[in-house]
Amino acid sequence: MSGRPLPRSRLDALVPSLLTGQALVSLVPATGDHAWAAGAAWDVARAAAKGGDRRVALVDLWLERPTLHEVVGLSPTEGIVDAFEYDVSLTKAAHEIDRVFFIAAGTVTAHAGDLFANPRWRKLHGGFRSEDALLLLYLSAGALARLSTVPDGLIVLSADGYEPESSIGQGITAAMERGIPLLGVVRERWTPLATPAPPSDPRAVAPPPGRISAATRPGIRAGASHRLARPVVVAVTLAAGTAGGWALLARGAEQRAPVPAAPASATRTAAPPAPPAPPARPQPRLDSLAWTVQLAAYARLDRALALADRLAADGITPFVTPVTLGPRRGGTVWYRVLAGGYRTRDSAVAVRATLWSRRLAQRGQGDVLRAPYSYAVKGTAAADDLRARGIPALARDRDGHLLVGAFETPEQAGVLEARLKRAGIGATLVTRMGTAP
């Protein structure tokens, strides 16, 4: 056995510092007990995400026998195979659980080798590095040998350690010779068990009951021997051709919890004067320009503005929307880049297709959202002045007021509302109206 032992009970203390500076790390089981290995991989991912300072994604690449979705507590769902082969957006395939963005294996594939060798892994690797995020890949030693990118590190998963002379051990040694450093070995305890439990049969490769099959997927003929001729899409890769741009945002977690109202004083004479009632929140109208297309989300405002400026140069009205994933993420702010404001969802879908045909976005990229709210800035402030103060004002309404952001709910605009108040800038939350924002 070799490699630094990482007792499973101490992963929370050991993993965060161990993975500092790493962008892509492979988690390789060296045991026949796949249930234990999958559980250990999930523990590593949660330990890496502990504290919420870094975005962490875990991908199940054990395609022959995926079990991670069961450990995580999900039913069989679309995943990495669907993203690479069927144009499913990674934004939709990712599930945020315990601060980890988990991507399941997804549909059964006959082209696993092509998936591992796809050059887009190198782009994903670079994208996670540029965003100081962490991508964890759960895969076999054989799959690691076929991966198109070289991970920053390797963690072996085995309750009692592993022997370098074994077949799996030789695969791990080959990975190290390829230049992948062995960061450690996750074990059940510091020393091996006196009588290790018999491993399950590692030869079983049947998918678990209920897993999506190509035969049951709509639009895919059973027994088709050829691969679908669709472009391989990774949602994290942006239309600009760079590898940056983390877009794995679970929109359902972005609404801020409303602050409960303070109880009224029991003594009327001792109570201070009642503050003025807050202005009523606008109600979105049916004829508002409520629909938009989210193309990306960045951790840095300058990156989001760069993409927005490219859209504006091509005649697309952009919005940059600061949002937070709430207290569970420690208030981390993301900057969504959205394209246009439209009356109907069908109009937004048609514009998204235009963005694809004009190569302003990669085919399959872009989520259609209903986000009717924006902040309208009062006065005659210049857009460049506001941008210099961290307020991404880009569009104007029909009355000439600068608009900032496009929000799904009034509560989601809380980040921008606080930023406007700190800057002393007057603004009103409105619903976008007119023939153009």
167 pLDDT higher than 50: yes
Strand 291-298 with 333-342, pairing: antiparallel
Report residue 274 CA to chain centroid gap: 44
Instruction: Please report the pLDDT score of residue 122 as a whole number.
Output: 92
How far apart are the C-alpha atoms of 242 and 167, rounded to whole Å?
38
In total, how many domains does the chain have?
2
* Digit-coded pLDDT (tens) for 129-148: 988 899 999 999 889 999 99
> Are residues 144 and 37 both part of a single domain?
yes
What are the structure tokens assigned to 361, written together? 């976005």
Q: Residue 176's domain spans which residues?
A: 5-187
Percent of the chain with pLDDT over 70: 74
The CATH number covering residue 104 comes to: 3.40.50.300
Nearest CA among 65, 70, 115, 74 for reference residue 95: 74
The residue type found at 66 is P
SS (H, E, C) 20-79: CCCCEEEEEECCCCHHHHHHHHHHHHHHHHCCCCCCEEEEECCCCCCCHHHHHCCCCCCC
53 part of a folded domain: yes
Confidence (pLDDT) at 273: 56
When comparing pLDDT for 331 and 164, which is higher? 164
* pLDDT of the residue at 49: 93
152-156, 294-298, 403-407: range with lowest mean pLDDT: 294-298
Contact 193, 160 (CB under 8 A): yes
What are 299-334's pLDDT values in tens digits?
Answer: 888 888 999 999 988 889 899 999 876 444 445 788
**Of 164, 187, 210, which residue is a domain's last?**
187
Query: Rounded mean pLDDT of the chain?
Result: 77
User: How does pLDDT run across 334-361, given as a tens digit for each residue?
Assistant: 889 999 899 888 889 899 989 988 888 8
Whether residue 380 lies inside any domain: the answer is yes
47: burial class by Cβ within 10 Å (0-12, 13-18, 19+)? buried
